[in-house]
Amino acid sequence: MNSATDTVLEQSVLGSRRLSNLLVAAAVSIGGIGFLLASASSRLGRDLLPVGHAADLIWVPQGLVMGLYGIAAVLLATYLWLVIVLDVGSGINRFDRASGEALIRRRGFRQTIEVAIPLRDIQAVKVEVRDGLSPRRRLSLRVQGRRDLPLTRVGEPMPLAEVELAGANLARFLGVPLEGL
């Protein structure tokens, strides 16, 4: 979502609250609970799962290993749900011509990360497009004396037309060249 006036351009950045992350966290949670129930079924000799016959598993080593897998999955699921609840990675890109400053803000685990850049230090808006096994489509700022500063969300690649349009609009607003196309 973008909002713009003559002097301010503000872009919101999607964080970890995406459908794909919710589905992965749910699948890992269900799998972890399933492994723990299979392990408990093996130890107690009673089927605690509605499918299969986990009580027939030998406790050592099968039931024990299933329990370890279950613990690992539950810990991973806890981490994934925490990242989703905190919405890590969400934030804003705010470009203010009146104050002459760009503010990039992202939510982290324990704190908010803010980077303020004078607009005069921005040399260009860079569009990175890489297709293949691990595709990348992102916008970044080329800043004098610093590494390129990414502006778009991490994870799912944005459609190419959307990246190009956002880059062109930002470059036009800032009055800098658009690189990478």
Q: Which of 53, 86, 119 is the last residue of a domain?
A: 86
The answer on 142 and 68 residing in a single domain is no
Q: In angstroms, rounded to a whole number, what is the distance separating the alpha carbons of residues 96 and 100?
A: 6
Q: Fill in the DSSP letter of residue 153.
A: P
Q: Dump pLDDT digits (tens) for 114-163.
A: 999 999 999 999 998 888 777 778 899 999 988 999 898 776 677 888 88
Number of domains comprising the chain: 2
Domain that holds residue 52: 20-86
**Left, alpha or beta for 120 (phi > 0: left; psi -120 to 50: alpha)?**
alpha
* Rounded average pLDDT over 40-52: 93
The answer on 115 and 82 residing in a single domain is no
Within its chain, how far is the Cα of 37 from the centroid? 31
The answer on 129 and 70 residing in a single domain is no
The answer on 174 and 100 residing in a single domain is yes
The overall average pLDDT reported for the chain is 91
